[in-house]
Amino acid sequence: MVKLEFISKFKDIVTSAQTVKIAAFFSFTILLTGIISSQNFFFQNIIENGISRRDIIAQKTLIVEDVKRTEQHKKEVAQKIEPVMAPAEDDFIRTNLQTLQTSIMQIRRKDADESVKKEEIGILFDLSDNSKRDFVINYLLKADDNSLHEVFDKSSLILTNILNAGITEKDYEKDNIDKIILNNLISNVSKRQVSVITALLEQVIVPNLVVDEFATEIARKNAQNSVKPYEVVFQKGDKILFEGEPVTRLKRDALRQAGYNVYQLNWQGLAAIYIIVFIATAMFLGFMKFFEREYLEPRYLAISAVLSLFLALIGVMLPVGFSPYVLPIPAFLMLMSIFTNPRVALVASVVLLSVMVVGYQYNIQFMVTFLMLTLFSVILMSQIKYAKRVDLIKIGFNISIAGLVIVLSIYILEKCLIDVDNVLILKDVSFIFLNGILSSIITLGSLPLFESTFKIITSYGLAELGDHNQKLLKRLQMDAPGTYHHSLMVSNLCEAAAEAIGADPILARVGALYHDIGKLKRPLFFVENQSYFLIENPHNKFTPRISKMIITAHPKDGIEIAKEYHLPQVIQNFILQHHGEGLASYFYNQAVKEEGIDNVKEEQFRYTGPKPNTKETAILMIADAVESAVRSLKNPTPEEIEAMINKIIIERLNDGQLSDSPLTLKDIKTIASTFSRILRGMQHNRIKYQENLAEELQKQKINMPAKLLDEDLENKIKQLEGDTKPEEPKKSDGDKND
């Protein structure tokens, strides 16, 4: 028993929606990783354990940078760059010299023994040479004031020269301060003064230049950038690799230029590719969750996954060295734009393109070209109205022109820097030009297949369903002509209202055309068809409850017919929701009269729903009721039409039938205004032309210039007045020979 319970719980976990989503996510990432990684098997066919298994010959001239030698040379050049020094604050050095000189003068003036003065001055100086120390102390104590001030002035001047030249940490560490002082001596300095000046300056001089790390780094970078790369040239026909030769980085780069994928398929590389695919897929799903939640349905994710896998598979199947500009990335973007929207298509294209560039080792110009082309294509697709399929061909041609300009511009820039084969330029430009046109053809050809496979109806599919030659619409026209005419009127209202509030006008129009197909099951039980077939209303023989069952069954009957004719779910929503949970008020009121209000409940006379949950189905609910109600009025005035529209909308609002729809009050106001404008045009008064027509034409004859009245008009006037028979037109000279 416990075992069965465990199995049941395990089954519930495995079949839960969350588990299915996780399994689908990992299945896709693993499959895409496998497709991208499969290209690496080719490299293992020629390289084994880093050793070439056969000779590989260059099919074109290759110029390959020896990265290892270039980097080594850059390091050597950078090391030779001396640090850039920057001046530091040095005013305190001059202040220290002045303080030292002031202290000496104070000691000289002090009323104390000479030995005490010598001891105090000795404290101010740190001199290792005792003989020099004694000489300096004696000079500072016994020299006259003029001589001492001369020494102090010369010391200050020499210090200024030294600080202006600058002292680095390196100079200070070498203990060559004496040399620096001697090199900066001024003229007219005696030998005795040199010793004293040197002693004074040694006590205050410190480095006033420090290393500017940022400037030094820039200098070294500039030096590295000035190094020309070491290049190795493989002429066409040269051997890139010999059998048994180790594959160095230089040879790998040469193989990459020759069109070989140089990834070795090991566990580390495989894991790295999977991580990139995993992150890219997660980022795409994150974008969808926060910005395009409506397209997180399984069918939209499924078509995104299938298109991505197809494109990755085409990339693997390209021959080695073949131009990647043939990849139908524009077709991927156009299909994604049609089945979702241009924003989703842009993100999906950029994410997949990034994965392919990394996985297939495409060069940077390929990435730049298709990134720019993707953005251009998204702008074009966002402007398309999906009215004509030929618009896709036009977009494909525009993409071709844009791709040609981008690739050609990149190659022109490259030719300014390196020698590029003109044949290669011509091939790539031709490929990118054909790519756009072929992508549009692929899109057109594959649309019906993807629509039927993933049960997603596109605007093109809707346009096909809206064709009045469709079998189901022809059947509606023949078997229920009143319903067909009603559907046409409602579709016009829905399309105009949807366009006015920013909903999907094509979807609204097509959904309205099919919303009443359930009436095909019992067409004579609906009043709009009874007058056409000139029959009595059969509901006169039924009780209100039976009539209600017949009438309210048409949405359910419509779903059965829709499934029989394979109508998409989005159209079935119109069939189910156009009455919502509304009340069949006519039969309800009849039942109240016959049975009494206490014996009749509103719930028994309501449609089964559900309520409209989109803007388009909500518009249909209002339009369906409005068209029927206005048609029942005899020669209504514009005010009566507007009042009827407002009455129906208020009834639906009060009954809560629009509570699940995203319509705003502003939308409802716009819808009412649109319906009023269209219905006023439908209800215009007719002019009686036959009465007094001769009189009116005669008035026109009097008031109009003679040159505007031809003989035919004269004859018509006379014929209507009864004055003469119509005259035969005179033959021209050219007709006489007939």
Q: How confident is the model over 267-320, as pLDDT tens digits?
A: 777 888 899 999 999 999 999 999 999 899 999 999 999 999 999 999 988 876
What is the arithmetic mean of pLDDT over 457-483? 92
Residue 540 scores a pLDDT above 80 = yes
Between CA 362 and CA 370 the distance in angstroms is 11
Give residue 304's pLDDT.
96
Task: Please give the residue that has the higher pLDDT: either 530 or 508.
Answer: 508
Q: In the beta sheet, which residues pair with residue 64?
A: 232
Residue 175: band (very low, low, confident or very high) from pLDDT cuts 50, 70, 90: low
Has residue 136 got a pLDDT over 90? Answer: no
Residue 209: beta bridge partners? 87
Per-position b or e across 435-466, b if 16+ CB within 10 A of its CB: bbebbbebbbeebeebbeeeebbbbbbbbebb
For 238-252, what is the mean pLDDT? 80
Q: Would you state the structure tokens that stand for residue 687, as one six-digit string?
A: 């002019």
Tokens 């003065």, residue located: 117
Give pLDDT, residue 707: 44
Please give the Cα distance from 635 to 524 (Å, whole number).
Answer: 26
Q: If residue 29 lies in a helix (H) or strand (E), which one and from where to where?
A: helix 17-38
CA distance to 89, 171, 180, 209, 348, per residue, from 86 (Å):
10, 15, 19, 5, 52
DSSP 408-469: HHHHHHHHHHS---HHHHHHHHHHHHHHHHHHHHHHHHHHHHHHHHHT---HHHHHHHT-TT
Instruction: Give, in order, the Cα–Cα distances in Å from 602 to each of 582, 584, 607.
Output: 10, 9, 10
DSSP 86-115: EE---HHHHHHHHHHHHHHHHHHHS-S-HH
* Residue range 650-674: mean pLDDT, rounded: 95
What pLDDT is attached to residue 317? 86
Tens digit of each residue's pLDDT (9 = 90 or more) over 34-70: 998 887 655 556 666 677 777 778 777 888 888 888 8
- Predicted confidence band at 733 (pLDDT cuts at 50, 70, 90)? very low
Backbone angles phi, psi at 112, to 5 degrees: -150, 170
Instruction: Show the tokens assigned to 452.
Output: 């039927």
- With tokens 């319906």, the residue in question is 675
Three-class DSSP category at 51: strand
Q: What is the mean pLDDT of residues 360-371?
A: 89
Phi, psi of 63 (to 5 degrees): -115, 110
Tokens of 571: 């159209």
Name the CA radius of gyration of the chain, rounded. Answer: 47
Q: ∠ CA 468-472-474 to the nearest 5 degrees?
A: 50
Partners of 48 in the beta sheet?
51
Question: Could you tell me the CA-to-CA distances from 299 to 116, 219, 283, 452, 706 in Å, in that order?
Answer: 103, 58, 19, 11, 71
Q: What is the mean pLDDT of residues 226-231?
A: 83
**For residue 246, what are the β-bridge partners?**
51
C-beta atoms surrounding 210 within 10 Å:
13
| Residue 689: per-residue pLDDT | 47
> pLDDT digit string (tens) for 702-720?
444 444 444 554 555 455 4
- H or E element that contains 590: helix 585-595
Distance CA 431, CA 325 (A): 6
3-state secondary structure of 731: coil
Place of tokens 């590029």: 420
Q: Structure tokens of 134?
A: 């004694």
- Minimal CA–CA distance to 310: which of 326, 332, 339? 332
Question: Confidence band (pLDDT; 50, 70, 90) for 734?
Answer: very low
Closest CA to 387 of 486, 464, 305: 464
Split at pLDDT 50, 70, 90, the class of 531 is confident
Residue 726: predicted pLDDT = 43
Average pLDDT over residues 622-631: 94
Task: For residues 626 and 678, give the distance between their C-alpha atoms in angstroms, rounded to a whole number.
Answer: 11
Residue 611's pLDDT band (boundaries 50, 70, 90)? very high
Taking residues 95-112, report their average pLDDT: 83
Name the least confident of 98-112, 345-359, 658-672. 98-112
Q: Rounded to an integer, what distance in angstroms lies between the CA atom of residue 408 and that of residue 152?
A: 75
Kindly indicate the confidence band of residue 738, based on its pLDDT and cuts at 50, 70 and 90. Answer: very low
Gap between the terminal Cα atoms of the chain: 106
Q: For the chain, list the domains and their CATH numbers.
A: 85-211 (no CATH), 267-456 (no CATH), 467-682 (1.10.3210), 691-730 (no CATH)
pLDDT at 25: 95
Q: Which residue has the higher pLDDT, 466 or 727?
A: 466
3-state secondary structure of 63: strand
Q: Rounded mean pLDDT of 410-424?
A: 81
Query: How large is the average pLDDT for residues 558-564?
Result: 96
* pLDDT mean over 348-354: 96
Q: pLDDT tier at 505 (50, 70, 90 boundaries)? A: very high
Check whether 589 has a pLDDT greater than 80: yes
